[in-house]
């Protein structure tokens, strides 16, 4: 009897779910487009990602929504008997797509470098077309930092896996990671997995190098710091930058030995100091 009730419940749920559809399946186009929701009953929906209720916008049997900006649509159906379907949801994109940064530290034994296979999740297409990645995927470029490699791709979320760029996937020489979910930025070490404190050398721009002069003491304190970061040095620096762990510049100004950082949110940051010769010193600090 319990099995029958469970089976009946699943059938009813599947029935309602199948009766409420959202199209098209591709969820990105560069130009504005229409999304259509169909169902036999009253459709309640939202376009801002919030959960719809019977107080939400509604239409009978059919509703069309213009995608003129990124929208997350959620909807459910109430049929003529007053029964409600499960909520279905889908995010739709238009225009440019956020750029994601992928970093990977390969084993030193990988003589052919590193490649990455990218399985896009959101969006699931580019201008209506699914993007297929064929083995070995995207060839990553050396990051100029130890054995790290990097590349960028346009998506909001994806599953990725790294490999050693062999010609074929199913051969003994192939080494590959498992699928790794990611959002806007991923730092992945083949040995340690996902890391949250990447090395500072990943954030140097192409024409910069860290000074190897060990005779000059440079210290930042207090660390962790709440309000004012102090720099103890006799070296003549011209300017400073503060970047987050993704390399995004948060603050930039002429060098001073006391830097107000109270406006920063809590987290890890890098202080980049430059002198008149273009030499660079990179120091890490923590904002409480």
| Confidence band of 130 (pLDDT split at 50, 70, 90) | confident
Lowest-pLDDT choice from 112-116, 146-150, 218-222, 236-240? 218-222
Count of Cβ atoms closer than 10 Å to residue 161 Cβ: 16
Q: Write a three-state SS string for the chain.
A: CHHHHHHHHHHHHHHHHHHCEEECCCCEECCCEEEEEEEEEEEEEECECCCCCCCCEEEEEEEEEEECCCEEEEEEEECCCCCECCCEEEEEEECCCCEEEEEEECCCCCCCCCEEEEEEEECCCECCECCCCCCCCEECEECCCCCEEEEEEECCEEEEEEECCCCCCCCCCCCECCCEEECCEEEEECCCEECCCCCHHHHCCCCCCECCCCCCCCEEECCCECCEEEEECCCCEEEEEEEECCCCEEEEEECCCEEECCCCCCEEEEEEEEECCCCEEEEEEEEC
pTM over 0.85: no
- How much of the chain exceeds pLDDT 90, in percent? 62
Domains present along the chain, CATH in parentheses: 13-94 (2.60.40.2470), 99-195 (2.60.40), 208-287 (2.60.40.1930)
98-121 mean pLDDT: 93
pLDDT value at 5 more than 60: no
Q: Report the distance separating Cα 202 and Cα 282, nearest Å.
A: 11
pLDDT digits (tens, 9 = 90+) for 235-281: 888 899 998 877 788 999 999 999 999 999 998 888 888 887 777 78
β-pair type (99-105, 185-189) = parallel
pLDDT digits (tens, 9 = 90+) for 10-22: 344 444 444 899 9
- How much of the chain exceeds pLDDT 70, in percent? 89
């Amino acid at each position: 009897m319990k099995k029958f009730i469970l089976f009946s419940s699943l059938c009813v749920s599947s029935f309602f779910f199948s009766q409420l559809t959202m199209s098209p399946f591709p969820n990105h186009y560069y130009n504005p487009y229409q999304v259509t929701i169909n169902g036999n009953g009253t459709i309640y929906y939202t376009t801002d990602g919030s959960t719809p209720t019977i107080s939400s916008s509604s239409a009978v049997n059919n509703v069309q929504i213009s995608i003129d900006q990124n929208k997350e649509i959620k909807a459910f159906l109430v049929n003529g008997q007053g029964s409600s379907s499960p909520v279905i949801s889908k995010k739709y994109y238009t225009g440019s797509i956020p750029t994601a940064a992928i970093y990977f530290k390969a084993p030193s034994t990988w003589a052919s470098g590193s490649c990455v296979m990218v399985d896009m999740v959101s969006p699931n297409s580019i201008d209506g077309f699914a993007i297929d990645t064929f083995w070995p995927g995207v060839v990553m470029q050396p990051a100029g930092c130890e054995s790290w490699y990097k590349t960028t791709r346009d998506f909001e979320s994806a599953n990725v896996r790294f490999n050693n760029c062999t010609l074929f996937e199913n051969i003994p020489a192939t080494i590959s990671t498992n699928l790794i979910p990611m959002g806007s930025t991923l730092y992945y070490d083949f040995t340690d997995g996902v890391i949250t404190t990447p090395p500072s050398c990943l954030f140097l721009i192409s024409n910069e190098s860290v000074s190897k002069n060990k005779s000059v003491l440079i210290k930042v304190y207090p660390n962790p710091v709440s309000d004012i970061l102090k720099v103890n040095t006799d070296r003549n620096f011209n300017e400073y930058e503060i970047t987050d762990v993704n390399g995004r510049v948060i603050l930039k100004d002429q060098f001073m030995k006391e830097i107000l950082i109270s406006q920063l949110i809590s987290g890890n940051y890098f202080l980049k100091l430059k002198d008149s010769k273009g030499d660079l010193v990179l120091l890490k600090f923590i904002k409480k």
